[in-house]
Structure 1
Amino acid sequence: MSPVLDAPSYLSLDARSRQTSLDPHTAAFVQDPYRAYAFLHAHAPTFFWQEYGFWCFAGHDDVNRLLRDRRFGREKPEGAAEDGYAGPRDHLVDFDAFSSHSMLELEPPAHTRLRTLVNRAFVSRQVERLRPMIESLSHALVDSIEVDGEADLLPTFATPVPITVIAEMLGVPASMNDQLLHWSHDMVAMHMFGRTREVEVRANTAAREFADFLTGYVEERRKTPGDDLLSVLIAARDGGDRLSDAELTASAIQLLNAGHEATVHQIGNAIRAILHQGGDPRRFFAGPGAAAATVEECIRHDAPLHMFRRYTYQTVEIEPGVTVRPGEQIGLLLGAANRDPRAYSEPDRFDPGRIDQKNVSFGAGIHFCIGAPLARLEMEVALSVLFDRLPGLRLAQEPAYRATYHFHGLEKLDCRW
């Protein structure tokens, strides 16, 4: 064994084997994963993460390449453990039924067919039509808190923007927002490290209740279609093909979950990052293209999702000393890739004007996030309105991150103005 001595106290690395021990629940790592990432970039950008039991990749070029490599994918091969869990799954029947029809968990040809049908209802021109609604909503949210002079901006601003927008897009009543959030949180918890049986049971219950609600709501929409996304999904066809009821329900659940879960964290992380720069925050949104550039830097600088997993479909020597076999998983560290010093100049510096602007926060390849145009628009409009209306906004206290790796978002965002 040849341990690297300058590692953070909570991380151990054997330099020769690249075996790394790092509990992702460790408080110091939760609050600042970028210190560990910087160490790994310097000593082992490819490493075997013992707690997860698979090889992980922190380098930007490696992550970008492997996301596009069709020898790896999201669909679980026969006999492979599900996210490292190989035990009985009788208590996860409803969650697994959802996953089996979710395009996020499928590969071609099933993925291609589903994405083609869903994408027709989710193209950029459809999203751009939402700009006035997002702007009006953002103003209304600021109106509701402005006189108070202080607020936790996570529940009062960062959360209602994306959940209201995606529910509006799908035609789901705004009165369902709190219930949708509850179901979504319970289902997303399935992807957290070290989940418990209790978490799994809650996720299964949420999947069943969510599907039951949407099944009934889809029937209503079939009888009285509108111009909402759900009506478009019901009518979506590719030649003589269309979404089955199970595919339609799974697609709607996926869009509702993905349409707000990550964006809530990204808006919160962005507000924190911008306020850390000091001065008048409006400067980041002034001038042509400034808002878009600022949003892109926020997405790179402090992403809300730090790991994508992929299954291996054939024996692959990814690099010397790193061979993976069918059924094994690999971890692609998006948050680390976005801070790779080989890909960025001064990667830890917040700089919307950087000439090396790029990121892998939305993934890459065939699973590139279908909602990326919507997330970017929501952030651009909502943040512009927030800082224009409250230019004196400041942190009331340093916000803490939730211990929910691989999601990376704040517990609270207490601010004053």
Structure 2
Amino acid sequence: MTTPSCLTIDAARRNVSLDGRNPEFYSNPNAVYAALHARSPTFFWEEQKQWFFTGYDHVNGLLRDRRFGRQILHIAAREELGLPEPQAHLKNFDLAEQYSLLEIEPPEHTRLRTLVNRAFVSRHIEKLKPEIAALCHGLIDGFENKGEVELLSAFADIIPVTMIARMIGIPDEMGPQLLKWSHAYVRMYMFSRTKEDEYLADQAAMEFADYVKSVIRDRRANPKDDLLTHMIHTEHKGQYLTEDELVSTTIVLLNAGHEATVHQIGNSVRVILESGIAPEKLFADEAATSRTVEESLRICAPVHIFQRWTLEPAEIDGIEFKRGDKVSLILAAANLDPHKFTYPLTFNPDRNEGANLSFGAGIHFCIGAPLARLELNIALPILFQRLPNLRMDGVPTVKDVYHFHGLDRLDLSW
């Protein structure tokens, strides 16, 4: 196997040098992951100053290992860990993140997730099928006769943000603004982020929070049949969510509820078209569609990395970790582990080799996974059935947003 030129591996020391902003890497991360699996699946990434795991069993195990967590300041002080003080120019972003389901640990995580979880269980999500299908058909009606489309802006961007906003209780017309806030907000998670990105993210967090607070005030006065009203008025063991908790939870649901799914719609369409497999076979029935969706999630996951703090001393794959160490798990690479999946770089919806890890695992398993899966299982077959001669116009450009993975645009014609 040829090692990509952007990657240097010292297998003996398990050291890797790799520029996360190099287009050769973020345009085709699977090639890098394959080389890492072959030579050093557990490695210290010099540029990130952190240990990374790519093996399926290690990633799956660490996601469930309670010796590792999403936060650490609930058990240790900044001074003890040598962590810097919060930065003043990120105070709005930090406040919005303070009670994020993605960032907190039990017991707070258990309380917040219990209050939200009911809306996302499969039996409730299934009721959205007709609404999602109608939205998909309506969007395609708008461009079908043109013979060409930029799919992300005309289709992929709109479906997830519209559905999660409706569930929460935010009007459809706020969709474009929610997208702007979300895009600015999630730049904080990218390897390529700049100081300007940080200022823009903080501004977006402030505006986002102010808007959510205005909707909260309205729902307190005028309750409706939506998730935000449910979160405001439902108690758990005698406690209600505070306003800050409501804001954090609403923002994370809006961001996580659409950002990754937008990427995955584009990624899936691309990998399906590049596979050369007839869409009528891939979407022959619900079972075939589900296999196609899961295989696309495996081979081109939209979110690549989850990080964990070491909460107590632990040894993983011969590496000793002490409390306060940070480790990273590459979900997208675990999905390509040759010890788990045969010919892992090949798109093969007929494989039956176990679950992908694209939605994580353990207590932080993606709460919106049932919604994301339903949207993909409805949107993809409708798109290919309505536009049977679909083809890509040129090679799509991948966004410089590692560790997310998605396309800048996807130009299609038929």
Give the alignment's TM-score, normalised by structure 2. 0.96
The code of the aligned residue for 1:350 comes to: F
Write the deviation string for residues 338-387 of structure 1: whole angstroms up to 9, x where unpaired. 01100001111111111114110000000000000000000000111111
- Residues of 2 paired with 1:262 and 1:395: CA distance? 21
Question: How far apart are 1:159 and its partner, in Å?
Answer: 0.6
Write the deviation string for residues 257-278 of structure 1: whole angstroms up to 9, x where unpaired. 0000000000100000111122
Q: Does the 8 Å contact 2:78/2:85 carry over to 1?
A: no
Q: Which stretch shows the higher mean deviation, 197-206 or 275-284?
A: 275-284
Q: 1:234 aligns with which of 228, 232, 235?
A: 232
- Corresponding residue number in structure 2 for 1:402: 399
- Residue segments in structure 1 that go unaligned for 5+ positions in a row: none
Write the deviation string for residues 308-332 of structure 1: whole angstroms up to 9, x where unpaired. 1111112222122x11222121110
**Is residue 29 from structure 1 mapped to residue 25 from structure 2 by the alignment?**
yes
Question: How far apart are 1:86 and its partner, in Å?
Answer: 3.7
- Corresponding residue number in structure 2 for 1:296: 294
Secondary structure at the counterpart of residue 16 of structure 2: strand
The code of the aligned residue for 1:265 comes to: H
Q: Counterparts in 2 of 1:149-228, with a 5 A limit?
A: 149-228=147-226
The code of the aligned residue for 2:311 comes to: Y
- Corresponding residue number in structure 2 for 1:309: 307
- Residues of 1 paired with 2:405 and 2:70: CA distance? 21
- Residues of 1 paired with 2:256 and 2:17: CA distance? 30
Q: Does the 8 Å contact 2:263/2:302 carry over to 1?
A: yes
Q: Does the 8 Å contact 2:192/2:401 carry over to 1?
A: no
- Residues of 2 paired with 1:219 and 1:390: CA distance? 44
- Corresponding residue number in structure 1 for 2:99: 101
- Residues of 1 paired with 2:84 and 2:197: CA distance? 16
Write the deviation string for residues 85-138 of structure 1: whole angstroms up to 9, x where unpaired. 846501111111111111211011111111111112222222111110000000
Q: Does the 8 Å contact 1:80/1:327 carry over to 2?
A: no
Q: Does the 8 Å contact 1:103/1:111 carry over to 2?
A: yes
- Corresponding residue number in structure 2 for 1:74: 70
- Residues of 2 paired with 1:118 and 1:171: CA distance? 14
Secondary structure at the counterpart of residue 13 of structure 1: strand
- Corresponding residue number in structure 1 for 2:263: 265
The code of the aligned residue for 2:339 comes to: R
Q: Does the 8 Å contact 2:20/2:192 carry over to 1?
A: no
Q: 1:391 aligns with which of 373, 388, 392?
A: 388
Secondary structure at the counterpart of residue 315 of structure 2: strand
Q: Residues 257 and 288 (structure 1 numbering): CA distance in 2 closer, same or farther, change over 3 Å? A: closer
- Residues of 2 paired with 1:6 and 1:295: CA distance? 29
Question: How far apart are 1:223 and its partner, in Å?
Answer: 1.6
Q: Which stretch shows the higher mean deviation, 113-122 or 41-50?
A: 113-122
Q: Residues 416 and 109 (structure 1 numbering): CA distance in 2 closer, same or farther, change over 3 Å? A: same
- Residues of 1 paired with 2:276 and 2:9: CA distance? 37
Q: Which stretch shows the higher mean deviation, 230-239 or 322-331?
A: 230-239
- Residues of 2 paired with 1:292 and 1:133: CA distance? 19
Q: Which stretch shows the higher mean deviation, 360-369 or 86-95?
A: 86-95
The code of the aligned residue for 1:111 comes to: H
The code of the aligned residue for 2:186 comes to: V
Q: Does the 8 Å contact 1:297/1:357 carry over to 2?
A: no
Give the alignment's TM-score, normalised by structure 1. 0.95
The code of the aligned residue for 1:128 comes to: E
- Residues of 1 paired with 2:78 and 2:299: CA distance? 34
- Residues of 2 paired with 1:272 and 1:288: CA distance? 21
- Residues of 2 paired with 1:194 and 1:47: CA distance? 21
**Is residue 368 from structure 1 mapped to residue 361 from structure 2 by the alignment?**
no
- Corresponding residue number in structure 2 for 1:382: 379
- Residues of 1 paired with 2:121 and 2:286: CA distance? 24
The code of the aligned residue for 2:276 comes to: G
The code of the aligned residue for 2:92 comes to: D
- Residues of 2 paired with 1:313 and 1:215: CA distance? 34
- Corresponding residue number in structure 2 for 1:54: 50
- Residue segments in structure 2 that go unaligned for 5+ positions in a row: none
Secondary structure at the counterpart of residue 384 of structure 1: helix
Secondary structure at the counterpart of residue 330 of structure 1: strand
Secondary structure at the counterpart of residue 21 of structure 1: strand
Question: How far apart are 1:153 and its partner, in Å?
Answer: 0.3
- Residues of 2 paired with 1:54 and 1:319: CA distance? 15
- Residues of 2 paired with 1:279 and 1:150: CA distance? 21
Write the deviation string for residues 218-270 of structure 1: whole angstroms up to 9, x where unpaired. 11112221111111211222231221111111111110000000000001000
- Residues of 2 paired with 1:373 and 1:76: CA distance? 29
The code of the aligned residue for 2:228 comes to: L
- Residues of 2 paired with 1:171 and 1:282: CA distance? 36
Q: Which stretch shows the higher mean deviation, 230-239 or 168-177?
A: 230-239
Q: Which stretch shows the higher mean deviation, 234-243 or 347-356?
A: 234-243
- Residues of 2 paired with 1:139 and 1:6: CA distance? 44
- Corresponding residue number in structure 2 for 1:333: 330
Q: Does the 8 Å contact 1:309/1:330 carry over to 2?
A: yes
- Corresponding residue number in structure 1 for 2:345: 348
- Residues of 1 paired with 2:206 and 2:196: CA distance? 16
Q: Which stretch shows the higher mean deviation, 307-316 or 146-155?
A: 307-316
Question: How far apart are 1:79 and its partner, in Å?
Answer: 4.9
Q: Which stretch shows the higher mean deviation, 101-110 or 116-125?
A: 116-125
Q: Does the 8 Å contact 2:119/2:125 carry over to 1?
A: no
- Corresponding residue number in structure 2 for 1:9: 5
Secondary structure at the counterpart of residue 289 of structure 1: helix
Q: Residues 258 and 288 (structure 1 numbering): CA distance in 2 closer, same or farther, change over 3 Å? A: closer
Question: How far apart are 1:76 and its partner, in Å?
Answer: 3.5
Secondary structure at the counterpart of residue 241 of structure 1: coil
Secondary structure at the counterpart of residue 121 of structure 1: helix
Q: Does the 8 Å contact 1:311/1:327 carry over to 2?
A: yes
Q: 2:244 aligns with which of 246, 255, 266?
A: 246
